[in-house]
Structure 1
Amino acid sequence: MSGRDDGPGRTGPGAALGPGEDVWRVRVDEKACMATGICAGVAPGRFQVRDGASHPTSETAAPAPELVDAAESCPMEAISVTHRATGARIAPEE
């Protein structure tokens, strides 16, 4: 399974989000990031390592388990995933 679906309910990296859909915010603390590339391996297409740090390919995304996995896998806990509307922390777990 590629994780890409261009139909309704899509969750792929390029998925457009409509009004009322859950939206997550993905951030990387560049000062904490060691650019190991684990996030890019766990969530291909969601992160790029450049200039000595990882960067999300999009600051917002539809909910996706690979984003949680990337945040949980980061050895420096440099990745945070929150609910865009509420600010509730999704990953990593505290």
Structure 2
Amino acid sequence: MDLHDLSTDDLREQALAKAERDHDRGFVWDLVKHMRGASAIAGEDGSSGGITGSISEAVHLVRELRGREPFGDDEPLLRARFLEYLKA
């Protein structure tokens, strides 16, 4: 089966399994940096309201990365990144 035929969820699972096997923290960190939750966390101002937002965004980010929430607007970018990583 061609990688392009796989769902984004399947690509995520394969890419993260490869990163774990290869101890490739750089790939995982690159994913996190490009997800919308990460940019929301980075933009927080440090106020107590921002901290609550940061926690909420961090939880969303982890859920999205683990496949427990849909990718949303990040899907095309992440799908392309998973494909690129798996073909390397």
The TM-score normalised by the length of structure 2 is: 0.30
The structure that is strand-richer by fraction is: 1
The TM-score normalised by the length of structure 1 is: 0.29
User: Between Structure 1 and Structure 2, whose CA radius of gyration is higher?
Assistant: 2
Higher relative contact order (CA 8 A, sep 6+): 2
The structure that is helix-richer by fraction is: 2
